Chains A and B, each alone.
Chain A
Amino acid sequence: MAKRIDVSGLNAYYGSFLAIEDISMTVEPRSVTAFIGPSGCGKSTFLRTLNRMHEVTPGGRVDGKVMLDDENLYGAGIDPVAVRREVGMVFQRPNPFPTMSVYDNVAAGLRLNGKYKKSEMDDVVEKSLRGANLWNEVKDRLNKPGSGLSGGQQQRLCIARAIAVEPNVLLMDEPCSALDPISTLAIEDLIGELKERFTIVIVTHNMQQAARVSDRTAFFNLAAVGQPGKLIEIDETERIFSNPSVQATEDYISGRFG
């Protein structure tokens, strides 16, 4: 299931503005990789290039290579819609479909992919909700609107929705920044469980969170406002937080700027 991501020489633009420049990195399967860095350094933009969501922004454009195992996501003839079915995404603000029930939210991705029998669908929905540690809280209200859940539950519902289609990679764009500490803890625990099945990439502003959940950490920075964001270094999380090889990383982590 889980696949390796291998990025080389990737640039992303908004119109003529170069937002991130020349990024190369490898993300191992069944691991959690965290992206940290100051605001505007391009970590979210980079995350969105990994499932071709960057190009849905008007003017968004990418060059370079993103290999998912041996398939280039930006190769000729690759359908971005198919890429997004393979690389799931969870957003900063919980965004369940407001007009759908809890059940339909989880089933939404499956329904895009084709016909399922009712019993198969029930199984996948239950499995996904269990996988997102949400089943016990919502099993009695599967037919109630998803927007009626609490913020933390909504975010786990979004995770259930993303994993229901069995993606190879799960991207998370600051998934806890809109949540309280208890809900955050629930999501972090969940990330620990999910990494056994998926390759996970998480953008976070919270360095403690990066230290808690990730195996590897990538630090992004930009020289100045208006300059492109760059990958400064990527290494084992323990090393990044104890003995980074670049001075800027240490400055950022110890709170000397950013």
Chain B
Amino acid sequence: MPLTRYHYSQAVSAFFEMPTSDARRILPPHLQPLEVQHECSILAITAFDFTDSMAGPYQEIVLSVIVPPLLSRDRGMAKSAFYPFLVGTSTEASREHAIERWHLPHYMKDLDIALEPSDGRMRVDVRDGDRPVLEFEVTEYRSEPVDHLYQSFMVNGSSRFKVDIHMRGPHSEHEEEVGSLRLYEHPMTSQLTLDEVATYPFREQWMTDGVQVFEELETI
């Protein structure tokens, strides 16, 4: 399978502390949650505004638990590894594409995912029709071009998968704890104990005008 490229105008990600007990419940048995602190695991919320892809332009929100990367002698160390436990998108075509190609679990309705940058802040507002799903905000820091390697783990029935993902583009990252998060009761967030998820991110990342490159899907 050739490399799969998704061009984006905006990609923001924030890491929030969540109870390890929730993370373990979400993860399949072969994955362990990474802990930022004792009994504090990491919920990653990532939003994309894709401008060009095999599924056309669309917006996407990804809820993941951070897990240790799988080590490999012939590859670089991944910067982070994710287990996306629920993905929401703005189009049916993008859902079908990601389910078929990457086995990613999706919320099956179109979501309104608004990425609104202004004055060094990016506000992401996710709604399901009239129902709010979540709102989060990240802030900008010094930006520099990078090619970061990440890993994503997926399951489909008893099959386990991994894919290496490169994020290329200008990247800003910091831990100033100035962003925010509000989660609402919604099927997208039902696996989380909402009161126990931090209301501010301990890490904020922001990339613009770059490309997300998926390598070949591996069965593990």
Say whether A and B bind each other.
Answer: no
Q: Report which B residues bind A (CB closer than 8 A).
A: none
